[in-house]
A and B are shown apart, each in its own frame.
Chain A
Amino acid sequence: MDASALNFTDVSKVYDGAGSAERYALRDVTFDIAPGKTVAIVGRSGSGKSTLLHLAAGIDVPTRGSVAVYGAALNGLGETERTRLRRRDIGFVFQLFHLLPHLTVRDNVALPDLIAGVRERTYRERVAALLERVGLPDRAGDPVAGLSGGEMQRVAICRALLRRPRLLLADEPTGSLDDASGQVVMDLMLQMVAEEGATLVYATHSRELAAMADRTLRLHSGILEAESDASE
């Protein structure tokens, strides 16, 4: 077992601003997340939450510093290796769900395995089990367009967990939902992550949702401000 699920060491992300000015989205961020923990990232809009998650997922690269997922340093990896790592270890849940309208609920959930070239008979049961778990077993054959927001996000969680990632990243997973269904989705996600034994890192604006995590990272203008550990 690795000692760390996600490690940021002196990570900065710089964008070019107007003229030649540099704009820091993240500045010298350092933290370490132990496997199996749930961590909330909070901060104002524009504080760098999404940027942090993208760097963790390897879909963006830091300007300086190093990012490691379960001991694998992303910096040294090329585009293809980072994709491979994402395939194996990382799941992602988006604020706007991003389900494909031309696929059924079942096919949307199965998409990561489809992309990874896994045979259908291998993932068929897993897909069914996940949909069962989120309470949508009878919607498997439906087009996604007919689902409610909360249902869509539950499908998206199934998709993210399909390949049993060790690290689940969620960018404001309840940001597009009302409070009640947001709560349902959040509960479900926490339970499932616990069942799967995965590490969860999620960004949120909500104080209540942040309180559900083991630990909270607070960002302010790209700087990691304070840490509070709920378990302490």
Chain B
Amino acid sequence: MSASGPATESGTLLQIEDVGKTFQMGEVAVEVLRDISFDVRRGELLVMVGPSGSGKTTLLNIMGGLDTPTVGDIWYGEQNLAVASPRELTRYRREHVGFVFQFYNLVPNLTARENVFVATEISKKPLDVDETLEMVGLGERMDHFPSQLSGGEQQRVAIARALAKNPQLLLCDEPTGALDYETGKNMLRLLVDLSNTLGKTILIITHNTAIAPVANRVIRLRSGEIHEVHDNPHPQPPEEITW
């Protein structure tokens, strides 16, 4: 685990307090998130489930510093992301967060390895690119372009890219959403392993409730509000779950 952490005791990485988000769509204001409060604990595997449109991506974006809440605070150590400047948010993303997107978002004109380089080039203490790619099982195909890789392989590149920056927090938006059952399961395996071996804090959001049992903690979102948070002292290995 990375040595440089924020000065938080009690193992809290991120503290979300009364966050709300409203989108202004011309005349109408759409309230997408309301009264969201919870902590993200250091090293946990957190799964957030909720139906489509419940505001999962919006919340993830706010937690990752891609967006700011309309009300409320998000504390990352001493820093309140809710009032941070765009430049501070960029630094936060650059140094502390790794994203894995549903559609991988690889740069088509770069090979797998180069796609990871794009991330490591701007981080302070990156992991070795080739080792990271091997860790996600892509040692053989590093010099392939995204169009030459399957969906599962592309997702692995995306995970390697997020990991190689060596961030505190890995945010995964529907990491299995675009994958078939088997590949999806492998992906979960990988994330669980990363959480166990590297001690990364990982947040997975999904509308697939079947995934929830692999987590240390599950947050259920419904219509922009937290419906339920429950601890899971005995997470199931991904092989044992089905959907």
A joins B in a complex = no
Which residues of B pack against A, CB within 8 Å?
A: none
